Structures are given as structure tokens and as C-alpha cells.
């Protein structure tokens, strides 16, 4: 078996787009934490396109990837074996495929192999940007209180073991301490996660951690660092062995770092008018705007919350693929009604953007069978996603006179249904969720679980005290318990 690497990549010169990553001996200026598929299909791809336009000038915008999770370790090993090259395959709805060979990620470091290397790279004066895809839950911020979880065990560990950090915040603090001691320049800290005000949330989390770590570093970061907010978008399912087999069959090479995604790409970054020390990504289709919040609201409210609805209802109807679920007539219509009546009315308008059209495009993207995304991926981590994807829409709806929250309440009930079933099938063995322990406790008592579930405020805020919402939720729960979910949805639809 031949593996993809610098040498073998040449065989693909006629069948793939090779994006020139520039010379590897140039010192790079970006450190990225969280090297999953999404980073490789999105930020690394956009930077590869930019560098390819003028390698000489832009190769400094190559990335040092950092993995902190145990399961990143394999990827780091494969990546190093492949001379830092990987393929991105994009597949459009009409089956048009493109394969890119990307070498923007100059090197990858893993916390368990190279603690000091990561700290040094953050401290290195040539590093200008640190970017993040650490998932919605990775910021350890309780959204009901807008508060960093300072009591988290790993955070406490990092506060007490400064040279041996475990968390992203411990690494940042250690790196920034060294950077400050060396008289280093301030950094741009760029979150690329699906959170409204992702930069603000990153800032809150980091400053809260530094408050307990070293107030001088905190002051420096608070007054001089920038934390741009952004909206990121490209559906990127988890790469399967089958994807790798297909790639190998077609190209005769094994790529263990392969990523497969849709062809759609969007990245909107809130940038001040002058932005030195930031790659001119607007040359390759990235939008720089003054206010990104309306774009984030649109994407999180329509696409991500839509995913949650389609994933949970799809699962309830027995589908395990998003494209099959969304094409079910009932789900197709309910998704439209949800966006039309509950989401769009509370969105902030954006010049030149038609939300209905945006929605139609999103629904078509979901229906792309080539992406083969799973309901399981979408449902995983709902505890961290719900407060960012769905809750803001509900909270805004509840402030209106004629609030429309039927389908949002149904989403919560469907999530209850999913967890309840997982509880009774396998004691939640297959549930991937940061609050699994909490849910195990709640669902042990089946009769009260629906009330206790909604009363969990770190996820649902005050929803259980709001009669209007609570009664809709209870209607949906009753329909689920009495096995008449289909009929109940019909009453919403017609």
C-alpha cells in the first residue's frame, strides 16, 4: 500500500488541484488549536488557496496544528508520516467532485508528545495569530450565567501544575507568560467555533482563567489582544474508513488524514478597517465585515438549529443519515415551518441577504447524499450545542407578543425522547455528551425525568419557569409518551 506523501503526491498532478503550501523552512505565524476535519476543510483550505496565489509572499501564513485530545494523537502520527500533506475531497449535490492536496499545516504538535514545543510556539514572537476549533463546549462557559467554569477539575489542575498543562487555557497561559517575559507582541486570538460572539466567549474564558493564573498577563491580554468574532460554515462529516478506501481505489494512495466535505464554503470575519498582521483572506472569498453578529445569528439559527431538528426528528423516525431524514416529507416541511415562523422573525436583517433563499440553500445542502452525514454526529454534544443553536431563538421569540415556539419546544421534547430511549436501551452507553452523567441521574427516574430535564438551567436557562414554553413542551412529551408523535406534528403543520 502506498501512502500519500510529498513524493507520491506528484502522481496526482493531473487529477487533483495541488495547492502550493510554500517552503517548509519559513517560520509560520499561525498556531491552530483543534485539528479536526472541520479545520482541515475550512481554515486550512482557505489559507492554502491564499498561499497558492503567491507562495513567496503568503507562505508565512502556514499553520502549526496543535492537538490536545487523546484521539488527535493518531492523526498527528499519520500527518507526520505523510510529510504534512492531506487531501480534501469536496462533493457537490450534482456529484461534481474536486480533490485538493493541501500542505498549509506545516507541522502538528500533540500535548502528550510535545508540551514544551506548544508553549514555545505560542511564545515565539513570529506567531501572530492563534486560532481555535475546540468545539462549542470547549470554552467551558456556562451560558445561563455567562461565566467561565473555573471549578472544572482540569482547569484547577492547570492552575496548580503550571509547567504541565492539560487544557487549552493552561497551554495559552504558559505560552503567554513566556511571550510576555520576552517582551513579545500582542496576538490575534480567533475562535472558529459555532458560537454567537465566538471571539467574545473566547475572551471571557481566557481572561477568567488568567485572572486566577496571573493578573499581569490578564491585563496585557485584556488591553492589547484582539478576539475577532466570526461565522464559519462547511459541513464536514467524520471521515470514515470507507472514504479512505474509496480514495485509495481512485488514486492508488492511502491518505490517513483525508477529509471529505461539501463544496459549499463560507467564512465571515469581523475585522476592523485596518488589519495588519492578518492574512488577506478576502482575496480568496472570505468576507470581512464590520458586524458579524447578524451572519452568526442566521447560520446558527437556520443551519445549526435546523441540523438539531432534522437530526433528532430523523432519529425518532428511524433514519441514521441526515440526507434521508431531511427528505422525509414531514421533516422537510417541519424544518421549513420552523425557520419561517420561529427563526426568521427574530433574525437581524442583513443587507443583500434573503433568509428564505439562504434556508432553501441550507435544506438542499442537507439533502446532499454524497456528504452522507449521520444523525449521530449531529446529536452528539447537544448539551453544548443547544444553548448556542436553539436557545437564543426561543429567548427572542418569548419576548414577542405572539411568540412562536411550538417547534423549538418539540426539539427539546425530541431530545428528551432520544436520551430516554438511550437510557432504557443501553444505560446511555452510546451517548456522546459532556453532560452524560447529569442525564443519567435525571433519567433514572423515568416519571419525573421530563420535568427535571427541562429544569436543568445550564442548558435550558429559565425555560421551565415560562408557562408558555413549558406547556408546549409538555404537550410534545405527552404525544411522545402516548405514541402519537406523527399526529402531534400534523397539528403543528396544518
Contacts with ligand CS2, residue ranges (CB under 6 A)? 194, 233-235, 304, 307, 378, 385
Pick between residue 233 and residue 406 the one whose CB is nearest to ligand CS2.
233
Pick between residue 307 and residue 472 the one whose CB is nearest to ligand CS2.
307
Name which of 259, 283, 312, 323 is nearest 93 in CA terms.
Answer: 323
Report whether 421 contacts 323 (CB < 8 A).
no
CB-side neighbour CA atoms (13 Å) of 60: 10
Report whether 439 contacts 384 (CB < 8 A).
no
Pick between residue 232 and residue 423 the one whose CB is nearest to ligand CS2.
232
Rounded CA separation 308/333 (Å): 15
Q: Nearest distance from residue 279's CB to ligand CS2, in Å?
A: 21
Q: Nearest distance from residue 288's CB to ligand CS2, in Å?
A: 19
Q: Nearest distance from residue 265's CB to ligand CS2, in Å?
A: 9
Q: CA angle 320-249-49, nearest 5°?
A: 80
Pick between residue 309 and residue 346 the one whose CB is nearest to ligand CS2.
309
Helix or strand holding residue 203 (H, E): helix 198-213
Pick between residue 87 and residue 378 the one whose CB is nearest to ligand CS2.
378
Pick between residue 194 and residue 198 the one whose CB is nearest to ligand CS2.
194
Residue nearest to ligand CS2 (CB): 307
**Using CB atoms within 10 A of its CB, is residue 481 exposed (0-12), middle (13-18) or buried (19+)?**
middle
Q: Nearest distance from residue 1's CB to ligand CS2, in Å?
A: 31
Q: Give all strands (DSSP E) within 363-484, no chain letters.
A: none
Pick between residue 305 and residue 450 the one whose CB is nearest to ligand CS2.
305
Q: Nearest distance from residue 459's CB to ligand CS2, in Å?
A: 15
Q: Nearest distance from residue 243's CB to ligand CS2, in Å?
A: 16
Pick between residue 52 and residue 304 the one whose CB is nearest to ligand CS2.
304
Beta bridge pairs of residue 33: 66, 132
Q: Nearest distance from residue 294's CB to ligand CS2, in Å?
A: 17
**Using CB atoms within 10 A of its CB, is residue 329 exposed (0-12), middle (13-18) or buried (19+)?**
exposed
Rounded CA separation 259/261 (Å): 7
Pick between residue 37 and residue 65 the one whose CB is nearest to ligand CS2.
37
Instruction: Give DSSP secondary structure letters for 316-345.
Output: HTT--BHHHHHHSHHHHHHHHHIIIIIIGG
Rounded CA separation 271/228 (Å): 7
Name which of 307, 350, 310 is nearest 326 in CA terms.
Answer: 310
Q: Nearest distance from residue 385's CB to ligand CS2, in Å?
A: 5
Coil, helix or strand for 271? coil
Q: Nearest distance from residue 192's CB to ligand CS2, in Å?
A: 10
Amino acid at each position: 500500500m502506498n501512502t500519500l506523501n510529498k513524493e507520491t503526491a506528484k502522481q496526482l498532478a493531473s487529477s487533483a488541484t495541488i495547492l502550493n503550501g510554500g517552503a517548509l523552512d519559513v517560520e509560520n505565524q499561525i498556531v491552530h488549536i483543534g485539528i479536526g476535519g472541520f479545520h482541515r476543510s475550512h481554515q486550512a483550505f482557505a489559507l492554502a488557496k491564499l498561499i497558492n496565489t503567491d507562495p513567496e509572499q503568503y507562505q508565512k501564513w502556514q499553520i502549526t496544528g496543535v492537538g490536545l485530545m487523546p484521539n488527535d494523537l493518531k492523526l498527528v502520527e499519520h500527518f507526520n508520516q505523510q510529510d504534512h500533506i492531506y487531501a480534501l475531497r469536496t462533493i457537490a449535490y450534482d456529484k461534481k467532485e474536486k480533490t485538493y492536496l493541501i500542505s498549509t499545516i506545516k507541522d502538528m504538535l500533540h500535548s502528550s508528545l510535545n508540551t514544551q514545543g506548544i508553549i514555545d510556539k505560542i511564545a515565539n514572537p513570529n506567531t501572530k495569530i492563534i486560532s481555535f476549533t475546540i468545539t462549542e463546549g470547549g470554552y467551558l462557559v456556562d451560558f445561563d450565567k455567562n461565566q467561565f467554569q473555573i471549578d472544572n477539575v482540569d482547569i484547577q489542575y492547570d492552575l496548580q501544575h503550571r509547567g504541565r498543562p492539560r487544557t487549552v487555557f493552561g497551554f495559552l497561559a504558559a505560552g503567554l507568560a513566556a511571550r510576555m517575559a520576552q517582551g513579545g507582541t500582542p496576538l490575534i486570538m480567533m475562535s472558529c467555533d459555532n458560537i454567537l460572539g465566538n471571539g467574545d466567549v473566547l475572551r471571557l474564558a481566557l481572561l477568567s482563567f488568567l485572572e486566577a493564573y496571573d493578573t499581569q498577563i490578564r491585563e496585557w491580554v485584556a488591553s492589547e489582544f484582539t478576539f475577532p468574532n466570526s461565522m464559519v460554515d462547511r459541513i464536514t462529516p467524520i471521515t470514515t474508513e470507507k472514504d479512505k478506501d474509496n480514495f485509495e481505489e481512485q488514486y492508488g494512495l492511502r491518505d490517513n488524514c483525508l477529509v471529505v466535505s461539501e463544496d459549499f464554503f463560507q467564512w465571515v470575519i469581523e475585522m476592523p478597517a485596518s488589519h495588519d498582521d492578518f492574512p488577506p483572506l478576502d482575496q480568496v472569498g472570505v468576507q470581512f465585515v464590520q458586524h458579524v453578529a447578524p451572519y452568526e445569528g442566521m447560520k446558527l439559527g437556520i443551519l445549526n438549529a435546523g441540523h438539531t431538528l432534522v437530526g433528532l426528528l430523523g432519529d425518532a423516525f428511524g433514519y441514521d443519515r441526515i440526507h434521508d431524514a431531511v427528505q422525509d416529507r414531514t421533516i422537510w416541511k417541519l424544518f421549513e415551518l420552523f425557520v419561517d415562523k420561529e427563526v426568521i422573525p427574530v433574525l437581524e436583517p442583513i443587507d443583500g441577504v434573503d433568509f428564505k433563499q439562504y434556508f432553501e440553500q441550507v435544506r438542499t445542502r442537507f439533502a446532499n447524499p454524497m456528504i452522507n452525514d449521520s444523525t449521530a454526529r449531529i446529536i452528539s454534544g447537544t448539551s453544548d450545542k443547544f444553548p448556542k443553536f436553539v436557545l437564543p431563538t426561543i429567548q427572542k421569540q418569548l419576548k414577542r407578543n405572539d411568540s412562536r415556539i411550538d417547534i423549538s419546544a418539540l426539539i427539546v421534547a425530541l431530545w428528551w425522547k432520544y436520551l430516554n430511549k438511550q437510557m432504557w436501551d443501553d444505560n446511555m452507553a452510546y451517548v456522546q455528551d459532556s453532560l452524560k452523567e447529569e442525564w443519567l441521574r435525571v433519567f433514572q427516574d423515568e416519571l419525573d425525568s421530563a420535568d427535571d430535564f427541562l429544569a436543568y438551567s445550564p442548558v435550558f436557562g429559565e425555560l421551565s419557569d415560562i408557562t408558555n414554553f413549558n406547556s408546549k413542551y409538555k404537550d410534545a412529551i405527552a404525544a411522545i409518551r402516548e405514541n402519537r408523535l406523527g399526529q402531534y406534528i400534523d397539528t403543528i403543520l396544518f
